[in-house]
Amino acid sequence: MLIREQLPLAPLTTLGVGGPARYFVEARDEAEVIEAVEFARTRQVPLFVLGGGSNVVVADAGFSGLVLKVAIPDVSRSGATWLAGAGVDWDDLVAQTVEANCAGLECLSGIPGTIGGTPVQNVGAYGQDVSETIREVRVLDLRSLETKTFSNADCGFAYRTSIFNTTERDHYVILQVSFVLHEGAQPRVHYPDLQKFFAEHAGELTLADVRSAVREIRHRKAMLIVPGDVDARSVGSFFKNPVLPQPFFEQLAGRLESRGLQLPSYPAADGFRKLPAAWLVEHAGFTKGYTKGAVGISRKHALAIVNRGGASATEIVALKDEIQARVQDRFGVQLVPEPVFVGF
């Protein structure tokens, strides 16, 4: 296992900001993951687990401990069950499942990052959540250094959350994930953007059709990592869509209607309503293409805070804070960031 020192982290993230890691290691199997954790313990330094770098904001000072990049490879399949190491590229796995005519992940095409990050935030897009197909998650318990396997129910999945980023945050390193898909099933085309995309399509849709459409839609919104596209130098959606109790939603909707604004919303669990965070951001004055120094809002999607080139993490966080404060002031709604903040 190679331990590197003072390794720059910005090039390992899609946002492209942040300082170096005091120590850095890339672990390609479970034994190396355990060895890396023991290294951090021996030196009494904090540990941060890095996946594809698509959902992190690294502080300008970097990280004073060990950054562990879990790069466990390999994908295997037995019927409709797929097993993938935490270091496997997520979109590569989706492509393989679509090619094999296994439904369940096609709407999650084009999402950057690795397998290990998907259960943590219960990644979802265009009408699918990864928790719908996860069977088991194999982890390393950082307290006992023993491996464990969690069932889907054990993971406590909810909207963009799991036990891995809430009650058990920083207690486990994800090593492997298994998925149960649906061989020969029809693709899911429930999401409005997809229905609009295929409005004039004649004939039966394939999984490949839906995967291609999702990637095209994401590209139009700069939510697909494309080299040279400055609007894609982001973490994707920076804020989660707020979920409000029905009475609060009705009160807010009524207040906005008196000002001539129609508040969009979608049904959520237990009678709650989900608001599009992008709408709140735009109507708080941060429209697409907004620029403030080296940072700004994507020209294609109001939820993406972008590094226009040479931005610092401090500038990214300052714009985040400004957006949150303005939305809170105008709508009484608190926006919760999606990315993980490292070294702050």
Residue 140 φ then ψ, to 5°: -105, 125
Tokens of residue 72, six digits = 């466990």
Q: What is the pLDDT of residue 249?
A: 95
What is d(CA 244, CA 25) in angstroms, rounded to the nearest whole number? 41
Selecting among 26, 132, 322, 338, the annotated active-site residue is: 338
Q: What is the pLDDT of residue 319?
A: 98
What is d(CA 85, CA 74) in angstroms, rounded to the nearest whole number? 6
- The residue-averaged pLDDT of 245-252 equals 95
- Determine the 3-state secondary structure of 3 from DSSP: coil
Q: What is the pLDDT of residue 54?
A: 87
- Can 77 be counted among the known catalytic residues? no
Instruction: Kindly report the CATH class assigned to 4-70.
Output: alpha beta
What is d(CA 118, CA 124) in angstroms, rounded to the nearest whole number? 9
Residue 202 has pLDDT above 90, yes or no: no
Q: What is the pLDDT of residue 227?
A: 76
Q: What is the pLDDT of residues 118-153, one digit of tens each?
A: 999 999 999 999 999 999 999 999 999 999 999 999
Amino acid in the structure at residue 134: I
Instruction: Kindly report the CATH class assigned to 230-336.
Output: alpha beta
What is d(CA 335, CA 269) in angstroms, rounded to the nearest whole number? 19
What is d(CA 56, CA 277) in angstroms, rounded to the nearest whole number? 19
Q: Taking the domains of the chain in order of start, what are their residue ranges?
A: 4-70, 75-220, 230-336
Same fold, 4-70 and 75-220: no
Strand 20-27 vs strand 4-8: parallel, antiparallel, or unpaired?
antiparallel
Residue 170 has pLDDT above 80, yes or no: yes
Detail the DSSP E strand segments found in 13-116.
20-27, 47-50, 56-58, 63-70, 75-78, 81-85, 102-103
- Can 338 be counted among the known catalytic residues? yes
Residue 40 φ then ψ, to 5°: -65, -40
Q: What is the pLDDT of residues 203-246, one digit of tens each?
A: 899 999 999 999 999 988 878 887 778 788 999 899 999 999 99
- Determine the 3-state secondary structure of 48 from DSSP: strand
Selecting among 32, 54, 131, 160, the annotated active-site residue is: 160
Mean pLDDT of the chain: 95
Q: What is the pLDDT of residue 26?
A: 97
Q: What is the pLDDT of residue 124?
A: 93
Query: Any idea which architecture 75-220 has in CATH?
Result: 2-Layer Sandwich (3.30)
Give, for 289, the enclosing helix (H) or strand (E): none
Q: Which residue has the tokens 């023991």?
A: 38
What is d(CA 315, CA 11) in angstroms, rounded to the nearest whole number? 17
Q: What is the pLDDT of residue 214?
A: 97
Give, for 342, the enclosing helix (H) or strand (E): strand 340-342
Question: What residues contact residue 13 under an 8 Å CB cut-off, 6+ apart?
Answer: 53, 54, 56, 57, 58, 235
Q: What is the pLDDT of residue 269?
A: 80
Q: What is the pLDDT of residue 268?
A: 87
Q: What is the pLDDT of residues 308-339, one digit of tens each?
A: 999 999 999 999 999 999 999 999 999 999 99
CB 140 within 8 A of CB 34: yes
- Cα separations in angstroms, 98 against 94, 102, 241, 245, 247: 6, 6, 28, 37, 42
Output the DSSP codes for 100-112. TTEESSGGGTT--
CB 39 within 8 A of CB 23: yes
Selecting among 178, 237, 265, 298, the annotated active-site residue is: 237
What is d(CA 144, CA 212) in angstroms, rounded to the nearest whole number? 43
Amino acid in the structure at residue 334: Q
> pTM of whole model > 0.85?
yes
Amino acid in the structure at residue 216: E
What is d(CA 161, CA 177) in angstroms, rounded to the nearest whole number? 16
- Can 234 be counted among the known catalytic residues? no
